[in-house]
Structure 1
């Protein structure tokens, strides 16, 4: 497999020279200055300024130094970083017709087929139809009433599995997230272990992680290599792309065909897919949209939801006072004889505030998904060239002291109304993205996080693990996910940027103690979900 490890700094400099010479010939005078930013080098621009780890921290420093909009250029690729909610909403929201496109991933998107998922889909008719379909499931609160029972049932099953295997938190969270989404998307009930659809999805998602490793495939740096034949020496990436394309296609088609078969037999439960197929004769294009809309639910939501709920358990391990306050509220409102339900949500304000604080405290996508400008723009007197990548620094927006008092503190009370004054900004208007690229499953994800938190707090005490008499304090250091995607898009070699994951930003794996609160709690965990 041809990788960027074979590329030397001489290659990079020669590329920079070529870009520079072409620009000198064709570049016309800019109508306005670029946004301010660190000074770059001739030819290669700001290659050395792109941070290797925790890029959101460096971007935040740029914000303090240069303002809410900053700019760098790498080998001719313009990158604009946004460091305020106001600017993000003005550009990505109010000017969404300009700033809603996505950049192209040659290996993962074009050759392997991930371009058909909503997160990578370019703007157009398909994009609008996907979002329209997904809105039926997760875009409005009314739609969730249909699927709340699914979340309730699967979360109860999660409690049972955690009671039996409390040391398998991540595995059980991932299983539960997949079970919820597959029930909603395809009416499919996941097996307790070795489920074929879950295993298939995990394999495809792992391949996507490998696909988006910066420097893994030369074709992402030189897109014209996509046209070379498979038999050519050095073109093993084409054979790999074909194999991984088949895995992705199976992940998308197998549950879709499962629904069709059940509908033909008259036994299909209500689901996102069955609702879109029922009573219709679909064209090939319409069937494609239904199939990939459903797949986008899983690809876009399973991993990020796991990250948020895993962060909840980390927060409860580190901040026992917040846990005790939420448990006291649940005990007072719900009592010991039943589990919380969605009907209780409005009556548990502290638990609601705690779930919001989890979303603020741990940014699942610290730098969001990059937007692409489809035309030149002048914003706030600055020139934003066509094809610029726009990166919202969501981490800083959730930790901006102008928005949140003492942002480094985990403090659910910040979202409780006091003395008639408005509480601090709801993090859900930030953490799910902006404009037309806002997460269409935000209400579904929010509901899943809340019910997981409320039910878990009702029956479990979460605390630091103890080994050999020593209490283990987890480290708060999320892995950096989204910037890897950015590195790939701009062609930065691995020697310049060392990134570890392409999915949502997860806390480092940690150990904690998860124990039932009482004999009554054990009874609630073990009771039938229909009780």
Structure 2
């Protein structure tokens, strides 16, 4: 009996601390920012929606403030919604908040090479420097001819196939970045590069959306439980190797055939410090960022114009007063188009391309507002909550471009703008979008061209002969903020505009020619 009692005591001495430790998992540690109550082991995981996590974050921000914390198992998540918290944590403390969190899904699919999700390391810094050389504000001046030409085709495509406006925007955005990056363009919305990329990208963003799959990075044992994400990862890995590896190989074949066109990969392939893995990592980051952002913006842009014909009238009158009919708008005109600029900014504010953005990750402990931000914390910039804050914006859920005519940030009188950044749409800190200048030019050129050339209105129901309404709140939001499919009517404004569009598209063929030398092989790049 004594022996049994001693054994029971020993088991108790070992078990009780283990149980106590398990119950501490998921609990919010002292010193963290406030947040919703937690449960043992899971923390706040049980409170996360499968989709639309930005809305839950925004609700919590109203209750707990501009910076709050969550527990995902033993891991800590920090959500910054106030501009001041974002500026201090992401910009001023960027030396310790520029990492990305571990991503099992990304590692399985990309081997950790995708520079958009890569950890903050010498590898990332090396790739970032190389990409930056291609995308500085000065370097992007050299890309304007391609953007103008592709935007001319965008207008022509709207003219001849207006019902496929979404696909035309995707073609435009994808073709711009593949021309600059790999020297290959897509002449049609059904070109293999376009269709393959956007099919793959839809599956990729769904895989990475927080809450859509088991949180294997926060709860590691979930990696060993069967799930469909494993098959998705295997398929995605093959697709990305075919697409990005195929572009690299196609560029190499073209160079060997003496058909150089000055694209980025031609130069970078000769850099001995850049191996194939880094080349793929740059291709994935640039194509995913460049193709998605502009094409998603264009969908929201058209939706807002259809829903707000009064905005079209004002923007069109401004463009006509500056540009007239003798020429197309150009990037230099933006300085004289404050209302058009306000329309662009309001589309981005009301429907930011990414509601949360890619999370940051802390490599050192930091203090903000007296709260501890532990090492190894995942940090979200809640763009949605920041840009829909009723304390900062009058009628934050309404489309009102005029707000940007009275305030640089569109905020209402009395709002504290000292910590706001005009570039918040492109992220922050050392992880701010490397293609920001290229993206800004695309948004400006396409917006001016489309307002100048077309009238956007409700489609007419063939049965009832009545307008089909659009709903600016009908969105699919995962990693990105994308309108659900909607119908609209797109009409060229006049015969003069039609002639100008056709003439501009004809002229663009000279710009396109160097990027169409090897299109016969595009279907064989492994896509």
TM-score range (shorter-chain normalised) is 0.7 to 0.9
The offset of 1:433, in angstroms, is 1.2
Pairing partner for 2:356 from 367, 379, 396: 367
2:498 aligned with 1:522: yes
1:192 is matched with 188
**Cα distance in 1, alignment partners of residues 53 and 124 from structure 2:** 29
2:280 aligned with 1:282: no
1:84 is matched with 82
The two structures, once aligned, show a CA RMSD in angstroms of: 3.1
Structural mapping, 1:14-93, within 5 Å: 21-22=20-21, 33-51=31-49, 53-93=51-91
Contact 1:19 1:43 in 2 (8 A): no
Q: Deviations over 1:337-370 (max 9, x none)?
A: 2211113222222212211111112111111211
Pairing partner for 2:429 from 429, 435, 439: 435
191-200 vs 509-518, which moves further: 191-200
Structural mapping, 1:387-426, within 5 Å: 387-416=376-405, 424=411
2:151 is matched with 155
17-26 vs 452-461, which moves further: 17-26
The offset of 1:35, in angstroms, is 0.7
The offset of 1:317, in angstroms, is 0.7
Q: Deviations over 1:468-515 (max 9, x none)?
A: 22222211225454xxxxxxxxxxxxxxxxxxx44x210222111111
Q: Cα gap change, 1:71/1:113 in structure 2, threshold over 3 Å: closer, same or farther?
A: same
Contact 1:336 1:521 in 2 (8 A): yes
SS of the residue aligned with 2:62? helix
**Cα distance in 2, alignment partners of residues 342 and 294 from structure 1:** 27
1:464 is matched with 458
The offset of 1:235, in angstroms, is 9.0
**Cα distance in 2, alignment partners of residues 248 and 178 from structure 1:** 15
SS of the residue aligned with 1:168? helix
1:328 is matched with 317
The offset of 1:215, in angstroms, is 6.0
5+ unaligned residues in a row in structure 2: which ranges? 1-15, 412-416, 509-527
375-384 vs 208-217, which moves further: 208-217
**Cα distance in 1, alignment partners of residues 371 and 488 from structure 2:** 49
464-473 vs 406-415, which moves further: 406-415
Q: Cα gap change, 1:427/1:475 in structure 2, threshold over 3 Å: closer, same or farther?
A: farther
**Cα distance in 2, alignment partners of residues 53 and 203 from structure 1:** 20
300-309 vs 425-434, which moves further: 425-434
SS of the residue aligned with 1:514? strand
**Cα distance in 2, alignment partners of residues 307 and 19 from structure 1:** 49
Contact 1:115 1:121 in 2 (8 A): yes
Q: Cα gap change, 1:33/1:226 in structure 2, threshold over 3 Å: closer, same or farther?
A: closer
5+ unaligned residues in a row in structure 1: which ranges? 1-16, 229-233, 482-500
The offset of 1:114, in angstroms, is 6.3
2:442 is matched with 448
Pairing partner for 1:475 from 465, 471, 474: 471
Which of 1 and 2 has greater Rg?
Answer: 2
Contact 1:114 1:120 in 2 (8 A): no
1:267 is matched with 259
> TM-score scaled to structure 2, two decimals?
0.83
61-70 vs 153-162, which moves further: 61-70
SS of the residue aligned with 2:162? coil
238-247 vs 471-480, which moves further: 238-247
The offset of 1:448, in angstroms, is 1.0
2:110 aligned with 1:109: no
SS of the residue aligned with 1:339? coil
Pairing partner for 1:180 from 153, 176, 179: 176
1:356 is matched with 345
255-264 vs 92-101, which moves further: 255-264
Q: Cα gap change, 1:20/1:429 in structure 2, threshold over 3 Å: closer, same or farther?
A: farther
**Cα distance in 2, alignment partners of residues 71 and 315 from structure 1:** 34
The offset of 1:51, in angstroms, is 4.1
Contact 1:398 1:430 in 2 (8 A): no
Structural mapping, 1:498-509, within 5 Å: 501-502=478-479, 504-509=480-485
SS of the residue aligned with 1:412? coil
> TM-score scaled to structure 1, two decimals?
0.82
The offset of 1:62, in angstroms, is 2.3
**Cα distance in 2, alignment partners of residues 452 and 465 from structure 1:** 22
2:239 aligned with 1:247: yes
Q: Cα gap change, 1:463/1:385 in structure 2, threshold over 3 Å: closer, same or farther?
A: same
**Cα distance in 2, alignment partners of residues 69 and 473 from structure 1:** 38
Contact 1:360 1:427 in 2 (8 A): no
Pairing partner for 1:205 from 201, 205, 221: 201
Q: Deviations over 1:307-329 (max 9, x none)?
A: 11111101101111111111011
